[in-house]
Amino acid sequence: GAVVSQHPSRVICKSGTSVKIECRSLDFQATTMFWYRQFPKQSLMLMATSNEGSKATYEQGVEKDKFLINHASLTLSTLTVTSAHPEDSSFYICSARDREYGYTFGSGTRLTVV
Amino acid sequence: ELKVEQNPLFLSMQEGKNYTIYCNYSTTSDRLYWYRQDPGKSLESLFVLLSNGAVKQEGRLMASLDTKARLSTLHITAAVHDLSATYFCAAAYSGAGSYQLTFGKGTKLSVIP
């Protein structure tokens, strides 16, 4: 079935630094990639929708200058958290629509900013 | 704006019992999905429901969709401990052609031996 590979699975960074999270669709072309954020014991909140070759669409309240999304190819989308702060610590998950009208999720990235 | 409400949010049940999780959504949706999430893990796809009256079953879990009532249910039959997890429903709508998913708050299921 469809697979989305997400890396890294865990990252600890110092406050003020930037972190890049990658999501690759391994056996299908992901024209649209979704980026979610999940705080402990909460649901997934959509941060942005990225379409290959165009600018991402950010949800209300999500700072586009802080969460940079690049979707340069049909198989790769990246989320860069710039100048990270402790409040950015969260579980980040990417998702792509696959051929079977389902959504395939990456394995998630646990970001801890210290 | 599509809203998805799930209940109950917490469910503690004994092994062997049956129970149903409910998922209501506010406006017309193209598709309804059920996912399972284990602690510290990402989402595992359980069911995709595409049309009114759709029913799908996998093991002890059965999902159904009533588009007229804007309701989906996830029925658990003879629960076992391995089913302990958080279950999310999500509805899709083709806003701007992107088919975004809107998630319910999740139901944390604890199956007690």
Given a contact cutoff of 8 angstroms between Cβ atoms, the answer to whether A81 and A63 are in contact is no
Q: What is the distance in angstroms between the Cα of B23 and the nearest Cα belonging to chain A?
A: 14
* Closest to A34 in 3D by CA, of A91, A96, A98: A96
pLDDT tens column, A21-73: 999 999 888 888 999 999 999 999 999 999 888 889 999 999 999 999 998 88
Q: What angle do CA B41, B106, A56 make, to 5 degrees?
A: 70
Q: Give the gap in angstroms from C-alpha A105 to the nearest C-alpha of chain B.
A: 6
* Mean pLDDT score across all residues of chain A: 92
| Residue A78 · residue A23 · CB < 8 Å | yes
| Residue A67 and residue A84 in contact, taking contact as beta carbons nearer than 8 Å | no
Q: What is the pLDDT of residues B1-54, one digit of tens each?
A: 889 999 999 999 999 999 999 999 988 777 899 999 999 999 999 999 988 889
- What's residue B95's pLDDT? 61
- Position A85 scores a pLDDT of 97
The pLDDT of residue B51 is 84
Strands A76-81 and A90-97: unpaired
Q: Is B101 helix (H, G, I), strand (E, B) or coil?
A: strand
What is the per-residue pLDDT for B92?
Answer: 86
Tell me the chain B residues in contact with residue A42 when contact means C-beta distances shorter than 8 Å.
105-106
pLDDT tens, B56-75?
999 999 999 999 999 999 99
